[in-house]
Structure 1
Amino acid sequence: MVTSIKEVAVVGLGYIGLPTAAILASKGIIVKGVDVTPRTVDAVNRGEVPFVEPALGDFVAAAVANGTLSASFDTPSADAFIVAVPTPFNADRSANLSYIEAAADKIAPQLRGNELVILESTSPPGATQHMADRILAARPDLDSSTLHVAHCPERVLPGRVMEELVTNDRIVGGI
């Protein structure tokens, strides 16, 4: 079981991932952000925000200056992983899970055992299990006693994300 989380990898530094990373980093947790967009990675590493969200810029600038937040294209090892990637619709209106699958594929090689992997995305029922199954298929040396997987739906309003990440109650469902 995960007993102490000192380093977190946040996969996807968009409207949910970057604020989540910044809040965690402001609490002294080492956060390694991961994104596929050079503009985003470069902006975060400069202590800047690549989109508009009130108060986020101050959190990101302080966390980067303190050394608790950095960004990269590569998924690092960590005690916990937060997957905050898009889940768009396919043409047939089903969920496109390819971003979740890509994140799982990058996380799997980094696991040592006893990490927590949280899917924080608006996704359909079964997506968290799908992510867990994909990781476990890539890492048959792990099982449910050494991989802890959960879903935490995003529940924030644009323009109030930094306040709501701290004040809103959260429900987390685990596998």
Structure 2
Amino acid sequence: MKNLIVSVKMFLVLSVLTGILYPLAVTGLGQLLFPYQANGSLLEKEGQVVGSELIAQKFVSPRYFWPRPSAGDYATVASGASNAGPTSENLKQAVAERQAQGLSREMLFTSGSGLDPHVSPTAVKSQMQRIVQARALSAEQTVLVERLIEEYTEGRQGGLLGEKRVNILKLNLALDETL
């Protein structure tokens, strides 16, 4: 009986400690030290939240840069890959449709999570012609778009990890502000 009482007490103490106190402490520190990140890294346009810089947004208009395709249609609940193999007719058809749009190799397949907000500068530059035509941009405006791509190209994380990348939502917001 003594062991049961000790076990119940330990359960209650650890439940309060790990289920209430620790989460409150971590949440409080996050809000205090990193409020932007703790609240989802939300981006606003004219006072309205338009998305998070951490999650890809669906852009279908030819006037905008597109992120990598998403197997879950950019839904955060159903994020993930399609698990379609090289013999899948649906995958072959989707890739053929993307190739017909002139997308770069990187843009032919979905990202692992389906929510990756970044693509390579090469993938962004491969979309330039479509955007120039859809927006009927002049040569001077095209140069501005090229400068935006350079400005929004992020380096390796910490100078070591990953490759150069461009956040599509940030770039598209800047594109709308500039042109």
TM-score with structure 1 setting the length: 0.24
Q: TM-score, normalised by structure 2?
A: 0.24
Q: Which has the greater radius of gyration?
A: 2
Give the number of the structure whose residues are more often strand, by fraction.
1
